[in-house]
Each structure stands twice: as C-alpha cells, then as structure tokens.
Amino acid sequence: MQRTKAAELQRTWGDKPCDHPSFSREYDMGERTGNYRCAQCGAPISFREKVELMAARGAKPGSQREG
C-alpha cells in the first residue's frame, strides 16, 4: 500500500476503533519502507507490532495478508 493511499484511508476511517484484521507492506515512491499498514484503517504498523498482533491472535506467520 502506498503511503499516500494509507494516509487517505486513515482520514476516511477517522477515530473509529480498528482491530487491524490484515496488513499490507508500506511503500513510498515505489520503495518498501519496512513498515506495514492496516488494510482496513490505514494505520502505520511496525514489524514488531505486526508480530505482536499476530501472536495475540494465535496466527501462524504468513497467515495474514501481506500485500
């Protein structure tokens, strides 16, 4: 997900709570940033946060969508 698209998604989503059901890799000008974005609300998520969210859900690595 491009950083600009994620920012627009965040503005559209607003302050509603989100459980971040899936993640997309974040890109800026076509280059990966190393971070992720919530595919639902656009919130920035670090690799560590992603791992912690997946562990809390009992998900196996690779089971969440990584775009």
DSSP string of 14-64, one letter each residue: TT-------EEEEEETTEEEEEEEETTT--EE-HHHHHHHHHHHTPPTT-S
Average pLDDT of the segment spanning 47-53: 91
User: If we measure between CA atoms, which residue out of 64, 27, 32 comes closest to residue 49?
Assistant: 64
Note the pLDDT tens digit of each residue in 7-40.
999 999 999 999 999 999 999 999 999 999 999 9
pTM: 0.76
In this prediction, residues 37-64 reach a mean pLDDT of 85
Q: Where are the domains of the chain?
A: 3-57
Least confident of 9-13, 44-48, 63-67: 63-67
pLDDT attached to residue 37 = 96
CB–CB of 40/11 below 8 Å?
no
